[in-house]
Structure 1
Amino acid sequence: MDFQEKHIEIHQKLIAKLKNELLSWEIDHAVKPRKTTGDISRLTDECQNIIDNEKTNLREGRYWEKKDDSINLSKILNLNIEDEEELVKLFCHLRTKYNIKYFEIIKNRLMGDYDSENTILKELDLNIPKQNVLIETKCKIKKSKKLSAAIDDYLQLNESNWKKTTSKDYYNYTNWFLEIVGDIHLEEISHEVMNTFVDTLQKIPAHRNKKPEYRGKTIEALIKMKCKEVISPRTIQNIVEHISSFFKWSITRGYMEINYAQGKFRSRKESRTIFEPYTIEELHKIFFSDYYLKSVFKNNYQYWLPILGCYTGCRINELAQLQRKDVIFSGIPYIKISSTGENQSVKTQAGERDIPLHKAVLNLGFESYVNMVAKNQDNRIFPELQFKNYSYGSTVTRWYADYIKGLGIAPIKQNNKKTFHCWRSTFAMVCKEQDLPERQIHELIGHRDRDMSLDYYAPAYSVEKLYNDVISKLNFRVDTTRLMHTRYFHQQKLVK
């Protein structure tokens, strides 16, 4: 049997295996107890994580890492390919693609969509190579759309599925590609075109759209400036990955045959930025500065957000976007981090969480403050913050950087940072030092747990348990009662 015949047989075996697994899942799903909405949400999220990982394996060629496992599977399927390295590589590649389709179908089923799988299975059947027609020649392909038209279609079709920040990145990067290579037809794209694109990116100055001296200039003009501070390798890799996603979509539409961006640029592994926890001395500098003690902050958010960041470990935008509905004072008081309100968002699904309020926050009168201020039209807790750059936190970021710099707070090491994000590190460090339960800490911070079964199938911890096991025991060794004499303090009964 020649290579092409074996290629066809591999497809046939894998699609038969896929259909058998789908049938087994349906039978198993029918006899198990009904799943809750929370179960379904976690399972669909798990499917999406697997899909994303497998797509990364395809993009980076890491499917070959499963060589031994794939050879064992090929023997079970009676393919007899273990002596042919090229066939094994092909099998690993196709197995990954079919695995993606399996989890796409399961994800759809979990959401009640049993119709789309017919289309997916039909496409898989149609994609099985026919004898002697393994690859079409370029001369048989009709003239495709121009790059500009394809980009417009791509952005329009996918915009509703992306976060606003993601949509902005795709818009910018695809239009950078258009600007650099010109409005060519998609079938004219080649390795040479992509090489030119990547080479050009490495000569463009960083922050092209932010700095006044670069804004509005053409690519040619920017290159002639010969700037020393150019786009970082990590950003170039990110741009190329966005173009690769656009090419994959173009292939599904029949506009292209090959993803010329795949693996085209990989940055060297950069040292990881460390957000250093605040020391006790730095905590005292932050909370007992003249700004706090003499009540000279211009805005309420400047007083409350560092306090909330310290005692919740939340991200800056999670706090800046809070609305009245997100702050609950009945029972054990807590804040709800969610994406349900206008212009609200979370980084990941794990970011949707409830965080009990520490007694230090309550004793400073946070409830009185919330009830007083949340009377604006959209009931936001910090109404002075404007929605800019797809976030309420951008203004806080700039102010806070200036605030701690003025206090003389700076990172110890060169690649480290001292920013608002360091409150997360501080929260985690204090939890760890006090030997508090790890699973509850994961949930409070908004990270997935390492145990997949508990993470996806077990319900979230109750507010009461999170408070009793973690929040009530947190001790930052900062005497916040000193702040009760400032104009920001709102009197109410102390919590013991």
Structure 2
Amino acid sequence: MRKLTQQDIDDYLQGLQMEAYDDAKGIPAEARTTKLSGLNPLTVDEGKAFAEFIGEHLEIPIYDGSESFTEKYLTGAFSQYFDITGMEHQIASAGIKHDMQLMQVQEARTAFFSRDLKEYQRIVDSLKPVVIPNQPTIHTSVSTQAIPQSQEGNVLTLAEAWADFVKYKSDWTSRYKKEMEGMFSFIGLILGVDTPVTQIKKSDIKNMLEVVENLPQRNKNPYKKMTPQECIDCDDIGEDEFIASKSVAGYLKLCQSLFSSYLTDYKDIYTVSPTHGVKYDSKSKPYGVYSQTEMKNLVAYFISLSDWKKWVFLLLAYTGARRKEIATLTAESVRLDADSGRYYLMIEDSKTEAGTRQIPLHNKLVELGFINLVNQIGKGKLFPQVTYNNQITKAFHDIREHLDIPYLNDYSERRIVHSLRHTFITSALKNTGNHILVQQVVGHEHSNMGQTKRYTHKLPVSDLLCVVDGIKWV
């Protein structure tokens, strides 16, 4: 991999700055587009409060020296294609520079809502990128074209490394080989079989173990009939149906054998194996929930994002829906309820009757511009960039790690992306005290209904509003 240069960083930042500039330019049109969607625009006070909240959150890392989300994002993006050794300070400076641009966008919003149009225009003009003649502007949506793809020549992909490793382990019995190949079918799906092995980092191994730890036991129905990908995508697994701790430890042992013993010690591909220092301790099975403070920090970060992650994670936090339900949403899934005048999500891709349901859209999502996104897309998938559920899991893992939110809570319960659903349900039950309403919103079968169940029909959107409206993360 060639060394990262300052020019590479500057080229990438140009695309980020263009996005910030476009966001600032679009502020005056927000009220009208919101009105055209049949909604009420933000009031002056709400607009100022929103800008102040985001701005304060962005400035914290600048003054306390902590790693910002932008810096972590840039480090991850560049390290996939470059050798970033010795460029840590330049990447950190780039992260701060872009965070300050994002703060300027919020300052522009404050000026606009304060009716100081002269100051608003000054800030917008200051954000405009300087375009060098004959050099096209790079937008982040296509910026990976500016970053060279793998230039590692004959570096092995994970699939090729595995094939060589299996040959190397010629003393494996046929039974043990079959067991190891079964485990690798999951490892390959999570890490990506086409990924050059030199791009696999310690954080990827940790994320892989989290995914594996939340797999179901494949010797039980309905999981034994599922493909590995379906098992990875599976949500709402019973507490007594999770994979055993010793099996998870087996996945780590296999990775240590592949990455450390073979690729590092035998093939000299790594100087330090990505499994170095990675440990796995047996943990309890239940999912935990996030505290109110943790949810505030998480949602604040979700709001600060600008790609699919922003809306996918906000929808997970404010609907209690499953990963797959959000990942597969279409513009047609977002509908307006005539009785209540509120938008809702129509979840239809479900294997159960309870899973087919209407979820009222939280007002916070509307205020943040979700309906504008839906209207812009018009038809088809809202998040075509999300091609598999583990993509969401990995992105959330990085955010949680960056915010220093522990994987385990005080009760040794695991907190992963699916814990957003558990947190929503816990909060909704506390606020409403009505299990039936919450069960319908999140797609659970009505419990303890007995014979009454056959006479109980789906409640209208207007009756479900109290479930989502009681959720207040920020």
TM-score (ref. length: structure 2): 0.41
Larger Rg: 1
TM-score (ref. length: structure 1): 0.40
